[in-house]
Amino acid sequence: MKLFYKEVSMSSKKHVEKNAPVDSDFSLEAVPESARKGFRSLFFVMLGFTFFSASMSVGAKLGNGLDLSGFIWACLIGGLILCIYCGFLAYIGADTGMTMDLLCRRVFGKKGSYLSSFVLGFTQIGWFGVGVAMFSIPTAQLIGINEWILTIAAGLLMTATAATGMKALEVVSTISVPLIVILGVYSMVTAAGDGGGLIAIFEQSAGKITIFTGIGFVIGSFISGGTATPNFIRFARTKKIAVWTTIIAFFIGNTLMFCFGAVGGAFTGKDDIFYVMIAQGLAIPAIIVLGANIWTTNNNALYTGGLALANIFNVRMKLTTWIAGFVGTGLAIWLYWNFVGWLNILNCALPPIGIIVILDYFKNRSKFQSTYAAKNINWFNVFGIIIGAIAANLISWGIAAVNAMVIAGLCWIIGQFITKEK
């Protein structure tokens, strides 16, 4: 049975009616059946989402630290965990038609969801800024122009397409995905040919990290973005389309990006994908193709950031997306050089949000029906985010994201037992 989110305040309704009669992205309500999409449209959006240049850099680190067998196992195990996590979120998103932020209103309470929206929005705006600088800084160095000029131009252009909504995401993804596949395959084939085969390439740097560490890299590379899966897959016509689109896209997208980065990284000894491509004599193609790839991922990140701010301020996402874009662009260069570590800390707060939404959805399905009146704050679930994030950053053993989910899940179980929530 389809579950639709109809909890929109009267003030929100008046605002939407006055300023924007039609919200094609349904930022404050569930996606209706008439706006649902099929496999192809969503597949390219999700592929564009997972074709993340930073994942290629993570792949380069894996290539510089594992042998070929270790690399394969790290990708398979880490990818499987990501697919299970994101597959559940895809199911929920398609069944309810809700954004992650609207789901969080039901799970954490109306005001409690401000915390989850802040963490989700802030990290995605931050990664948007990092992505802009990841393109503009090396490109500016190569072509000899001021990095700020290129940063502002790229940031505003990416913001404009993100503010357009899902239609723009489909177009940009359809163009960029084939381009990055062509460039990545060429880079891999060239490296394998010049380096004496894949086994020989990986052996020259094997042993620097463990398989367990590699699995953590794979999971951590995209679990923050994966938490936003409902934002895009809620447009799926059926739950089956949503789940299979997500799983296939994540396996293909993430695995290919790791492979592209790992082979080139192991061959060149570099772990920044731009400089890997430059070392292979692919400077101009790298600017064009990686720029398009970053554009795609940044569109998705900013779209998520806009939805998060829309939930907090109760306004349409078009306005909040522009605000998020200005903030991310203005801080881009500083974020690139100084803020990634802090963003990684915040990323540890995203898996707890996702796992609590999953557990609450399958245990308390009545919360997601139109008649349910959301609380202001569900304290145990909110504490789950905080304690899970702290634990993930303090516990030195295991995989940070998995640790965060386990601790958050325990907080949720305790809350269910104490409150006896039905």
Span 253-263, pLDDT tens digits:
888 889 888 88
Residue 150 has pLDDT above 90, yes or no: yes
- Residue 200 located in a structural domain: yes
Tokens of 20: 């924007």
Between 32 and 7, where is the model more confident? 32
- Residue 146 located in a structural domain: yes
Q: Is the separation of the CB atoms in 46 and 249 below 8 Å?
A: yes
- Residue 411 located in a structural domain: yes
Between 39 and 12, where is the model more confident? 39
Percent over 90 (pLDDT), the chain: 33
Give pTM, 2 decimals: 0.85
Which domain covers residue 371, as residue numbers? Answer: 36-419
Lowest mean pLDDT segment, chosen from 153-162, 175-184, 225-234: 175-184
Sign, Cα dihedral of 316, 321, 323, 327? positive
Residue 218 has pLDDT above 50, yes or no: yes
- Identify which of 17-21, 67-71, 81-85 has the greatest average pLDDT: 81-85
Tell which residue, 209, 336, 251, 327, has the closest CA to residue 43. Answer: 251
pLDDT reported for residue 90: 96
Q: Is the separation of the CB atoms in 142 and 283 below 8 Å?
A: yes
| Residue-wise burial string across 147-173, b where 16 or more C-beta atoms lie within 10 A, e elsewhere | beebbbebbeebbebbbbbbeebbbbb
pLDDT reported for residue 324: 93
pLDDT reported for residue 154: 93
pLDDT reported for residue 16: 42
Lowest mean pLDDT segment, chosen from 94-108, 212-226, 302-316, 362-376: 362-376
- Identify which of 35-49, 53-67, 190-204, 353-367 has the greatest average pLDDT: 353-367
| Residue-wise burial string across 280-312, b where 16 or more C-beta atoms lie within 10 A, e elsewhere | bebbebbbebbbbbbbbbbbbbbbbbbbbbbbb
Under the banding of pLDDT at 50, 70 and 90, the label for residue 342 is: low
The residue-averaged pLDDT of 17-21 equals: 46
- Residue 66 located in a structural domain: yes
Q: What share of the chain is helix, strand, coil (3-state, %, to 5)?
A: 80, 0, 20
Lowest mean pLDDT segment, chosen from 35-49, 202-216, 302-316, 326-340: 202-216
pLDDT reported for residue 370: 63
> In whole numbers, what is the pLDDT of the chain averaged over residues?
84
Under the banding of pLDDT at 50, 70 and 90, the label for residue 204 is: confident
pLDDT reported for residue 297: 83
Residue 168 has pLDDT above 80, yes or no: no
**101 Cβ neighbours under 8 A, 6+ residues apart:** 113, 116, 117, 120, 307, 308, 310, 311
- Residue 369 located in a structural domain: yes
- Residue 10 located in a structural domain: no
pLDDT reported for residue 353: 95
- Identify which of 204-213, 316-325, 390-399, 405-414 has the greatest average pLDDT: 405-414
If you ran DSSP here, which 8-state letter would residue 366 be given?
Answer: G
Percent over 70 (pLDDT), the chain: 90
- Residue 29 located in a structural domain: no
Under the banding of pLDDT at 50, 70 and 90, the label for residue 195 is: confident
pLDDT reported for residue 371: 62
If you ran DSSP here, which 8-state letter would residue 397 be given?
Answer: S
Between 415 and 398, where is the model more confident? 415
How many structural domains does the chain have?
Answer: 1
For tokens 């890299």, the residue is 217
Under the banding of pLDDT at 50, 70 and 90, the label for residue 355 is: very high
The residue-averaged pLDDT of 71-94 equals: 94
Residue 133 has pLDDT above 70, yes or no: yes
- Residue 367 located in a structural domain: yes
Alpha carbon 59 to chain centroid, angstroms: 17
CATH of the domain at 93: 1.10.4160.10
Residue 11 has pLDDT above 50, yes or no: no
Between 270 and 91, where is the model more confident? 91
pLDDT reported for residue 20: 46
* 301-339 residue pLDDT tens: 898 898 899 888 888 888 899 999 999 999 999 988 877
- Identify which of 137-141, 220-224, 370-374, 412-416 has the greatest average pLDDT: 412-416
pLDDT reported for residue 191: 83
Tokens of 313: 């301020």
